[in-house]
Amino acid sequence: MSVSIRFAARHDASGLAAVHVASWRHAYGDGLLPDRYLRSLSIGALTPRWRDRIDAQGGDQAILVAESDGRVLGFACVGLCRDNEDLAYFAGEVTMLYIDPRFHNRGVGAELLEAALCSLEDAGLTWAVVWVLEGNVEARTFYERQGMQQDGAFRTDLIAGHPVPVVRYARAINPAVDLDDLVYSR
For the stretch 6-64, pLDDT in tens is 999 999 999 999 999 999 999 999 889 999 999 999 999 999 999 999 999 887 789 99
1, pLDDT greater than 80: no
What is the pTM for the complete model shown?
A: 0.89
State mean pLDDT over 60-82: 93
Domain enclosing residue 148, as ranges? 4-184
Beta bridge partners of 10: none
107, pLDDT greater than 70: yes
pLDDT at 86 (0 to 100): 74
Contacts of 104 (CB under 8 A, 6+ apart): none
Cα 6 to Cα 134, 158, 161, 170: the distances in Å are: 29, 31, 34, 24
Separation between Cα atoms, residue 186 and residue 86, nearest integer Å? 10
Separation between Cα atoms, residue 130 and residue 160, nearest integer Å? 21
pLDDT band at 186 (very low <50, low <70, confident <90, very high): very low
For the stretch 114-136, pLDDT in tens is 999 999 998 888 899 999 999 99
Residues of the chain above pLDDT 90, percent: 75
pLDDT at 82 (0 to 100): 80
CATH number at residue 150: 3.40.630.30
pLDDT at 183 (0 to 100): 55
pLDDT at 142 (0 to 100): 97
174, pLDDT greater than 60: yes
Overall domain count for the chain: 1
Contact between 66 and 3 under an 8 Å Cβ cutoff? The reply is yes
For the stretch 140-162, pLDDT in tens is 999 999 999 999 999 999 998 99
